[in-house]
């Protein structure tokens, strides 16, 4: 069974996000060994300078690196990443499994995204959309898409 880790900068606070994430986490238990890791988001002033943002992202990147399991394939979610359909994601996950990649780590940054150094470290950069979403919602969307990818791979009727 494939292991999937979702590494997130920032904690879920709203009950509706927690409930949705819990539901998809429960559903994914049939398909993979899921682990959700949350790292604290660096605090910034109300109107941070670019240098302050970069310093915070660098600290978050160091915290991310300290939690990255090895060996694993790192997939960073970022706006400049490649957009994939649900079917393409399912095929890619199946291909990774066929290549012997047994552990996938999906990375979601905080409010200001991810430091460029961690994006470069990722084997894959994935974009959900050119639109901007709250990173809390991105977690729920990612969980649903991973669940959908496994359902597509299993040939179920979930994906229409």
Task: Provide the number of structural domains found in the chain.
Answer: 1
How would you class 4 by CB atoms within 10 Å of its CB: exposed for 0-12, middle for 13-18, buried for 19 or more?
buried
Asked if residue 146 belongs to a domain, the reply is: yes
pLDDT in tens, 107-144: 999 989 999 999 999 999 999 998 888 888 999 999 99
Could you tell me which residues come within 8 angstroms of residue 101 by beta carbon, excluding any fewer than 6 positions away?
73
Query: Could you count the other beta carbons within 10 Å of the beta carbon of residue 44?
Result: 16
pLDDT in tens, 66-82: 999 889 999 999 999 99
Domain that holds residue 24: 2-154
At 70 the pLDDT is: 83
Question: To the nearest whole number, what is the mean pLDDT of the chain?
Answer: 94
pLDDT in tens, 23-77: 999 999 999 999 999 999 999 999 999 999 999 999 999 999 999 988 999 999 9
Tokens 């660096």 belong to 42
The CATH number for 111's domain is 3.40.1280.10
130/142 Cα distance (integer angstroms): 15
Q: Model-level pTM greater than 0.75?
A: yes
């Amino acid at each position: 069974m494939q292991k999937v880790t979702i590494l997130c900068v920032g904690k879920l606070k709203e009950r509706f996000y927690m409930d949705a994430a819990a539901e998809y986490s429960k559903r994914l238990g049939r398909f993979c060994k899921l682990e959700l890791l949350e790292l604290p988001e660096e605090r910034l002033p109300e109107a941070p300078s670019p240098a302050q943002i970069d310093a915070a992202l660098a600290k978050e990147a160091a915290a991310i690196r300290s939690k990255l399991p090895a060996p694993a394939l790192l997939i960073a979610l970022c706006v400049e990443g490649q957009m994939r359909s649900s079917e393409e994601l399912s095929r890619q996950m199946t291909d990774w499994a066929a290549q012997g990649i047994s552990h996938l780590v999906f990375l979601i940054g905080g409010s200001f995204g991810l430091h460029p150094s961690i994006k470069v470290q990722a084997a894959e950069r994935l974009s959900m959309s050119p639109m901007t979403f709250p990173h809390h919602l991105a977690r729920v969307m990612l969980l649903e898409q991973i669940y959908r990818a496994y359902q597509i791979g299993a040939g179920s009727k979930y994906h229409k």
